[in-house]
Each structure stands twice: as structure tokens, then as C-alpha cells.
């Protein structure tokens, strides 16, 4: 068991339930118990299944327990413990400073002034950037049920010990099996291409984690990935901590039209819908997502 300190405004439940990732394989979110289980890769290729929770409530340490696999009996050794700590920190965005965003929310008035109290602003991530990229690709041009199926089957077909496959493991099964067995359809070629590029080192998503340049340059690199257009790139940028772009998809269009253009007879063009959040600058995406979160309150995202 290990405890990881969290920032005073860190809310485990709000973070885990921040978007759809918590219901995608190989994660297991128990909303009632407030526990998130995930298989994590350790150094030397082993896997451990951990349970995460925040029994002390907001701002309290995150408690991580190994429930199966390596470390479940004797506890996690130092290198393993560091790997688990790094993965948990990445997933829960423990390093993210939300003070500026929350200050903007307080100034903005209702309903945004509820965001700080709700612990809103941390978007759940995967243990690795590659896993996030694969899952984002699985959200493109398909229904959410399709996304869940594609991800689950990919874990089954390419993963080991129940964990999400590494880029090398996805590359190893190749586009044909991604298509026919994991049923990724035409996305299979894109996923295989990304996996090969990451596995070979041609693309290094880890470099994007600490990117300090303009979002535009980072977006350009992400858009160079096969299958990554404006929507997918904006989604990826958000998970990398860049919120100045909004990924326009059917969810965005449906929500903004209903919430902000209820009387419009025609569907407003994207730029008019995007203009709703323009004033939020570098926080546009979080402002939109909170607006949506308020609307979905109690129904889940």
C-alpha cells in the first residue's frame, strides 16, 4: 500500500468521473465504493493490478493498493513503487495547477463559480500517452458503445495480463488483426501506424508531456498522426494539459445548440458555437466541459 499526497483541491471522484475514460478497458470504476482499479505495467514487463481511492476526502492522500499480480503480497519494491506512483500521478493529474482556471470561474459567476467547489478541472488520463492516443482514435466517427468495444477487444487481443497493450505490442499484432479481431474497421491502419511510429521512436509522445512551446506547434505534430484531425488533436491537447482548443464533435454541436442557441431554426456554424467559449482563452475546453458537466449533472458524462 502506498499513499500519494494530493493538492488541496484534488477531488478523486470528480477527477475519475471527469469524462468517459473511466468506463473504458482496462479500468474498473466503482462509483459507489469510490474505487478505481487498473492494471499497470511495471519495469521488466510485469503487471500489477492496483486499486486507487481517496478515503480521506478532498485534498487527502490517494491510497494505492496492489490487489493482484506483482507487489500484491510483499508490497511494491522501490522501482515498482516509483512506476506505480508515476502512473497514478499521470492518470489523476496530481501535478496540475488549477488555481488560475478556478479564479476565472469565480469571476465568471453562475454556473462557473461552482467549478472550484466541485473540484472540477482534472481530466482522467491513461497511464501512458500512447494509451490516450489509441483511445482518442477509438472515439472518432463511432458511437460510444463502439469505442468501448474497440478498446476492450484491443486489450484482449494485444494486451498482456489484462493491461492495455504497449505501442510495441499493438504494432506486433499488425493492422489486419486490429481490424478483424479487435474490429477497429478503417481505423486499424491508423492505429497500427501510430503504434509503429511510437514503438520505433519516430514519434515520442512522452516529449509532448513537458512541451513548453506554443499549442499550435504541438497540435501540428499530433495532426501528423494518421487518423488525427482537428477533433482528435484537440482532445489529445486537452489530455496534455492544453485547453485552448475545443474538439468539435457531435456532442459539442448538440449540446451548444441546445444550451446556447435554443431558438435557432438552423444549426449554427461551428465558429458561432465556438465563439461561446472564446473569452475563456487558454481555458476554453475546460469551460465548455464544465458547461456540459453542469447540464449533465447527475446523469454522468
Partner DNA sequence: TTCCAGGGGTAGA
Partner DNA sequence: TCTACCCATGGA
Q: Which residues of this chain interact with DNA, rule CB under 7 A?
A: 19-20, 139-147, 149, 179, 183, 185-186, 190, 223, 226-233, 235, 247, 249-251, 269-271, 301
| 65, β-bridge pairs | 51
CB 80 within 8 A of CB 88: no
Q: How far is the CB of 120 from DNA (least distance, A)?
A: 15
Give just the sign of the alpha carbon dihedral 174, 177, 183, 186: positive
Nearer to DNA, 89 or 142 (CB): 142
Q: How far is the CB of 296 from DNA (least distance, A)?
A: 10
Q: How far is the CB of 122 from DNA (least distance, A)?
A: 15
| Distance, CA of 51 to CA of 2 (rounded, Å) | 11
3-state helix, strand, coil in the chain (%, to 5): 50, 10, 40
Give just the sign of the alpha carbon dihedral 237, 238, 244, 249: positive
Nearer to DNA, 172 or 274 (CB): 274
Q: How far is the CB of 271 from DNA (least distance, A)?
A: 5
Cell numbers standing for residue 192: 497500427
Nearer to DNA, 166 or 190 (CB): 190
Nearer to DNA, 96 or 142 (CB): 142
| Distance, CA of 41 to CA of 60 (rounded, Å) | 26
CB atoms within 10 A of CB 199: 17
Nearer to DNA, 66 or 233 (CB): 233
Q: How far is the CB of 188 from DNA (least distance, A)?
A: 8
Amino acid at each position: 500500500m502506498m499513499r500519494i499526497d494530493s493538492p488541496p483541491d484534488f477531488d478523486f471522484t470528480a477527477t475519475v468521473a471527469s469524462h468517459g475514460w473511466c468506463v473504458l478497458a482496462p479500468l474498473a470504476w466503482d462509483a459507489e465504493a469510490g474505487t478505481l482499479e487498473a492494471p499497470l505495467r511495471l519495469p521488466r514487463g510485469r503487471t500489477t493490478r492496483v486499486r486507487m481511492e481517496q478515503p480521506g476526502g478532498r485534498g487527502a492522500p490517494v491510497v494505492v493498493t496492489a490487489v493482484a499480480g506483482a507487489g500484491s503480497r510483499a508490497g511494491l519494491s522501490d522501482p515498482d513503487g516509483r512506476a506505480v506512483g508515476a502512473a497514478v500521478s499521470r492518470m489523476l493529474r496530481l501535478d496540475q495547477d488549477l488555481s488560475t482556471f478556478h479564479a476565472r470561474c469565480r469571476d465568471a459567476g453562475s454556473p462557473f463559480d461552482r467549478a472550484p467547489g466541485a473540484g472540477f478541472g482534472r481530466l482522467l488520463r491513461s497511464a501512458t500517452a500512447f494509451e490516450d492516443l489509441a483511445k482518442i482514435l477509438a472515439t472518432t466517427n463511432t458511437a460510444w458503445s463502439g469505442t468501448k468495444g474497440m478498446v476492450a477487444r484491443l486489450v484482449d487481443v494485444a494486451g498482456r495480463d489484462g493491461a492495455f497493450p504497449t505501442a510495441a505490442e499493438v504494432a506486433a499484432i499488425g493492422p489486419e488483426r486490429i481490424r478483424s479481431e479487435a474490429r477497429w474497421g478503417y481505423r486499424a491502419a491508423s492505429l497500427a501506424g501510430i503504434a509503429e511510429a511510437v514503438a520505433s521512436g519516430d514519434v515520442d509522445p512522452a516529449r509532448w508531456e513537458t512541451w513548453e512551446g506554443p499549442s499550435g506547434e504541438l497540435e501540428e505534430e499530433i495532426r501528423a498522426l494518421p487518423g488525427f484531425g482537428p477533433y482528435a488533436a484537440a482532445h489529445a491537447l486537452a489530455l496534455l494539459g492544453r485547453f485552448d482548443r475545443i474538439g468539435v464533435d457531435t456532442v459539442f454541436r448538440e449540446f451548444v445548440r441546445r444550451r446556447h442557441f435554443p431558438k435557432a431554426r438552423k444549426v449554427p456554424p461551428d465558429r458561432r458555437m465556438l465563439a461561446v467559449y472564446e473569452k475563456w482563452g487558454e481555458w476554453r475546453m475546460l469551460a465548455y466541459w464544465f458547461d456540459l458537466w453542469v447540464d449533465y449533472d447527475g446523469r454522468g458524462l
